[in-house]
Amino acid sequence: MLYIGVDLGTSAVKLLLMDEEGKIRNIVSKEYPLFFPHPGWSEQRPQDWFEQSMEGIRELTEECDKEEVAGISFGGQMHGLVALDKDDNVIRPAILWNDGRTGEETDYLNRVIGKERLSAYTANIAFAGFTAPKILWMKKHEPENFGKISKIMLPKDYLAYKLSGSFCTDVSDASGMLLMDVKNRCWSEEMLDICGITKAQLPALHESYEVVGTLRPGIAEELGLPKSVKVIAGAGDNAAAAVGTGTVGEGRCNISLGTSGTIFISSKKFGVDEHNALHSFAHADGNYHLMGCMLSAAACNKWWSEEILKSKDFAAEQSGITRLGENHVFYLPYLMGERSPHNNPDARAMFIGMSMDTTREDMTQAVLEGVTFGLRDSLEVARSIGIQIERTKICGGGAKSPLWKKIIANVMNMNVDVIESEEGPALGAAMLAAVGCKAYPDVETIAKKLVKVVDTVEPDSELVAKYEERYQKFRRIYPTVKELY
């Protein structure tokens, strides 16, 4: 049988067709526009997601036996606010994860409601990108639109609703709304009261691998697919990517070097760090995970190379870097503010330590090291609550750099495992579809069968010692310059 994974990203939807043995039969990508109606705002039209996904599914399944398609699932951009009225019309463009308009609402939640209460209700504190502050913003600034809300959903759940008619979400994606009691995997009554919404306006909660319905007859006919195709709940993009890299079960780790960067740690136990520096979310495997999220990771290297050096040859820029662990230049990777562990939207990037003999290579090296040190900040928070990680998987565009992988192995003092297929959330979504269709008994089983490690970058004890010294200096810079922001 065949399974479709849909990765609803910020710039495009990526669709993947996989068979039961994990072989990828086809991949299709369809772009859609992103709108910035005011400085700091970021919006999209949900109808664009749906239209491009439908077109993508038709193209994806063009050459296959459509009768073999058994299930479809999703990995999606998290935190976005999609609001529908009683007639299922989209009330306003979706407010996305990287939208920065909710500064006042975030401050209200963290300072007036209070971080301790938020953490007790949801296991997390408020960040500007989360969904609850967006609801409060809409309530204050667009009261007429707020009054029309019949359904609140996340981006990928809009697709599930259009395809199946099922008003649902999954626990991993819902964890990032600041509306869910993560520990008990249910909606938080207290948070609904704070936001002025009801449980009837929120989707039914499911595990990521659960079937939520089948294709609507009209949709099945339009796509040329069987009406029996199961629609599976899916997951937030990071949880779906973790499934695709086999980061499931107890004590597994994945580092993602995309535009943003994450360190994702799976756990069978629920846990929250003392200062809520890491996100504590439900995982797509039925368990939990901790996640540190940097807003600028590979984006830092892209900015440095393309905007400053005017070069798109990333490999050439890194080729002259040979003196690892000996760089005197430091870089703070906060181009767009920062989430984990500092939660400071006003933080900004900076270089420090240049001298007359500083080279182009030193600056490039500092960017790669700065992002890695930033990720280690989150790893140290996890270590502070007793989580010990000895190895990590790696994915994302930055993971194509052999040098960056070597830096990560030595800064983190961990083995870095490179996997065979790096298709991220789309692959994880297809795997969740296969579990939902009973091709595999659970998420851990399919991950063990399909995710193959093809290379491992090991730390070098001499480099580890050098980088330990460098990291201890790096971690003193942000507290020193924080007041300047």
Nearest to 435 by CA among 206, 149, 219, 269: 206
Output the pLDDT for position 449.
96
Q: How is the chain split into domains, by residue range?
A: 2-238, 248-420+452-485
Q: Would you name the residues annotated as active-site residues? A: 237
Output the pLDDT for position 66.
97
Mean of the pLDDT values across residues 12-19?
97
Report percent pLDDT > 90 for the chain. Answer: 88
Q: CA triplet 421, 426, 431: central angle to 5 degrees?
A: 80
* Residue indicated by tokens 């890194």: 318
C-alpha to C-alpha distance for 247 and 237, rounded to whole angstroms: 13
* Residue indicated by tokens 């050439």: 316
Same-fold call for 2-238 versus 248-420+452-485: yes
- Find all residues with CB under 8 Å of 325, minimum gap 6, and list them: 410, 462, 463, 466, 467, 470
pLDDT confidence tier of residue 143, bands split at 50, 70 and 90: very high
Q: Is 124 helix (H, G, I), strand (E, B) or coil?
A: coil
Q: What is the dihedral of CA 186, 189, 192, 196, to 10 degrees?
A: 160
Q: Which amino acid is at 259?
A: T
Contact call for residues 373 and 327 (beta carbons, < 8 A)? no
pLDDT above 80: residue 420: yes
Query: If you classify domain 248-420+452-485 with CATH, what class do you get?
Result: alpha beta
Whole-model pTM: value is 0.91
| Strands, E assignment, 54-99 | 69-76, 82-84, 94-95
C-alpha to C-alpha distance for 225 and 5, rounded to whole angstroms: 15
pLDDT above 80: residue 440: yes
Cα 444 to Cα 75, 139, 266, 366, distances in angstroms: 17, 41, 11, 37
79 marked as binding residue: yes
C-alpha to C-alpha distance for 234 and 237, rounded to whole angstroms: 9
Which region holds residue 215: left if phi is over 0, alpha if psi is between -120 and 50, else beta? beta
Mean of the pLDDT values across residues 127-153?
97
Tokens of 100: 């920065």
Report percent pLDDT > 70 for the chain. Answer: 100
The architecture CATH gives domain 2-238: 2-Layer Sandwich (3.30)
Q: Which amino acid is at 256?
A: S
Lowest mean pLDDT among 1-10, 39-48, 338-347, 454-463: 338-347
pLDDT digits (tens, 9 = 90+) for 300-355: 999 999 999 999 999 999 999 999 999 999 999 999 888 889 988 889 999 999 99
